[in-house]
Amino acid sequence: MTEASKIVDAKGQSCPMPVLLTAKGIKDLESGQVMLVEVTDSGARSDIPAWASQTGNELVESSEADGVMKFYIRKK
């Protein structure tokens, strides 16, 4: 499992909040650090990977269990 330097809890938030919280959270990281984003909104299944790709950040790992999606994103 990937280790995260920061965790963004976007559980219970509806679109577009998970992406906005992700964008805000990544600003606090240094290049190469990893952030974990936890989301329950089903739209994030495509929105978070698309955001990572569009911003040049790397989606390192993703998983889903018990209705919670976890995205590990490495800052560019």
Local mean pLDDT, 10-residue blocks, the chain (76 residues) = 92 96 97 98 96 98 97 98
Residues with catalytic roles: 15
Residue 68 has, within 13 A of its CA and on its CB side, a CA count of: 10
Predicted pLDDT of residue 2 = 81
CATH of span 6-74 = 3.30.110.40
Predicted pLDDT of residue 47 = 97
Helix (H) or strand (E) segment spanning residue 63: strand 58-65
- Residue-range domain boundaries for the chain: 6-74
pTM exceeds cut of 0.85? yes
